[in-house]
Structure 1
Amino acid sequence: MGRAYQRKSRLTPWRDSQRTLRKLLERHGRPNSTPDPQYPFTALHRSPVWRLDGVHETEVPQARGSSLIKWLEEKNPAGGLEATLYDLLANDDTFRTQAAYHLLKEYFPHEEWEDILLDVGLQSERFDGFGHPPCVPVGATFPDRQALAAANVHRPRQAGIWGKQDEEAKSVVVSGGYPDDEDYGDEIIYTGQGGQTEGRHTHDQELTRGNAALINSIASGRPIRVIRGAGRHSRFAPPTGLRYDGLYRVEEHWSDKGVSNFLVYRFRLRAIDSIAEISSPVTLRSGGEGDSAAAPPPSGNPRPGRRASEVQRVIRSTAIANWVKGIHQHTCQVCGIRIATPTGAYAEAAHIRPLGSPHNGPDDPSNILCLCPNHHVAFDFGMLTVESDLTVIDRATGERSPLRTVSDHRISAEHLAYHRDHHTLKMTTAG
């Protein structure tokens, strides 16, 4: 498989391959067994996936012993994968990943997969821990944490978060360890780590270790892996063991009193590669400087629903977001900057009170601001808040400035107050 991946010759003469095969058997063969490469090299010819070139099937000695080595040295046959299989492994990344995964799972469930992949040439460098692990497809299953760690999907044997507080998180395990978790499929409200003693919640969680790593993931935008464990805590959980369910982005965090009445940190995770987005991402609008949205605002939705198809997600209205951006001529309500692009002006629609649980804000123009990308991020992190008199406060500098408004766009004082209170609580608990 490694030769196919590297586009090396399909067939290799015995004399050229025996040393490589011996090293692989020494490192990854059965414990206390003798590394004899001549046996797998010839025995595989009975399989439809392997070819010995230049010899007839009946010529291959069946007996074990010195006669086989002598025959190999005399004939020096070339061995390798069958041509069709070789081409599939060389050209189809998905097929190659699935094939490697099934072989590793079957024969090396608790051995370090990365060592094998590096030795056979299916991996060129050490995995840094971020993104999809080499040769582990989404949906891969594992019997236990040891196997999960061996495959580099989630290294900690007990902790639910893989990551240090001075870096981004790499992965999380959703296994029902905290009653505050909520699993909607492609959206997860994940409870941070800590606060438990012998499985019982006994004290407040702290913004350290894995919890801090997840916040770093929000800031960087780097996705994390989600692994689900078996159990009755979620209809999306696997029936047994653990399952790798792909990459999720950590969108936001907040603190709450949990069901045990202790402070917990909660993180919203959203799948980025399990299904297509229901609504389009932020759009570019064409038009000149004088463009404005003369039409009345689209009707909003005070309780945006969830659309289900094995997974659920909040349904957002692109029409409402576009109306808000249009009425402000795609100009940021904080700084007044209008970003021009080759295809039109660019701005982002920022929900004041988030739509998802536990905020449950409405998808309505009164709950949306038109912001540039920088101020959208600052607003979502609570570094910008808006007072009831529509004064913008920069929490980093203390500067105050008026929010730019237009008469046709009414902004809800209730949602602005919720945003202020929500982020005041987050900063108080973090400090």
Structure 2
Amino acid sequence: MVTDGGLARVVLTDRRFGVREDFLQRRLPAAVAEGVIASRRHLNPGLRPSAVAPLRTVVSALTRRELLGGLAPGRSLPFDPLPALERVTSRAMARHTFGPGADAVAGSASDLLEALSAMIGNPFALPANRVTPARRRILRHYEHTMGLVRALLRSRMEDPDAFPDHAAQVARGFDAARLEECAHMLVGALLAADRVPGAAAAWMLLCLSDHAPQAERLEPEAALFAQHLEDGQAPPLSSYPRAVAFVREVLRLHPPTWLITRTATGPVGLGGYEFSAGHTFMLSPYALQRDERVLDDASRFRPERWATSAPPGFFLPFGQGLHRCPGQHFALSLLVSILLTVVHEVRVSRAPGTVTADPRTTLLPVGLAVTLQPRSARSGRGVAAAAGGGGGEPLPRCLA
């Protein structure tokens, strides 16, 4: 376990510390692991800030439909927001990747993630090479998701110009012989866009409830965001500095990926000690980002600390180095869009009770129940429309 920030940075950025398992917990040979790093670069162009900015309209519509769609004016019952937020984040990524009609892919990937969650972090789970009913369930959901993704990828490999989506852009870097590799990588991206950003959004609602003055300061940016959506504009995230600072502070205090592991690919020295190949090193963004030795008032929620630049210390919710999450810009844009949509439409309050952080896999807010109250007659009508007989807030025509 690495508890020093400087040594943690070495583990994350030095090539001698690598990732040796895929999301199915299969052991990867060194050559395959290096190939994964090279392949992941094809994800980057479609996940840059300019590429994901237009998705804000979709995210806002999904948020109003999935999270706010059951809220009638003047009436609100406490509920767990995590399932709805997971649907928002997973469907947003699926539609960014495959365009219209991608909800079936998102649902299949969510089923796979549920199956994986029963094994990952389970101290009683047998090794991945042992066939058990739980492993069979994982493989069944994996093959179903891969089948959907393969079919969508084949058409994009044959004619990428016919599909203006992220998958077509990724497919340009692969030939037909590497279809399986490309599909596996995209399934991994779909999994990463489900529970992790969904958990971050749930922690975000908790912070909105617990820090009402901070929420009020977001209202002008929420109104600006709504106006930009209405005008069809997608300016850089820097147009919403308070919202970005709020999201970053949530990710600092409540990083969904609270534990990162790396494996020594050969003999390494670290902190004055020598380790042989195969040693596993663990570091916790949750602990490092709350270290009072490097950050003043580290345990307090203070978005203003991000006003000018990143605060001193280590901000690691997306990792660092070669294995840094390629979807960091997607995640920030997604969370800012959810945040400003919620602030514009409703006030968030938390039901009585204790919320605890469940660290078994993704850091989840267990016990969180929120109530949402429309901010005005105008937003009440908007929320009521999202709940009406039409099935929810309509999506943009190009993505409906």
TM-score range, shorter chain: under 0.3
State which structure, 1 or 2, has the greater radius of gyration over its C-alpha atoms.
Answer: 1
With the length of structure 2 as denominator, give the TM-score of the two structures: 0.21
With the length of structure 1 as denominator, give the TM-score of the two structures: 0.19
Of the two structures, which has the highest relative contact order with CA contacts closer than 8 Å and spacing of 6 or more? 2
Q: Which has the higher helix share?
A: 2
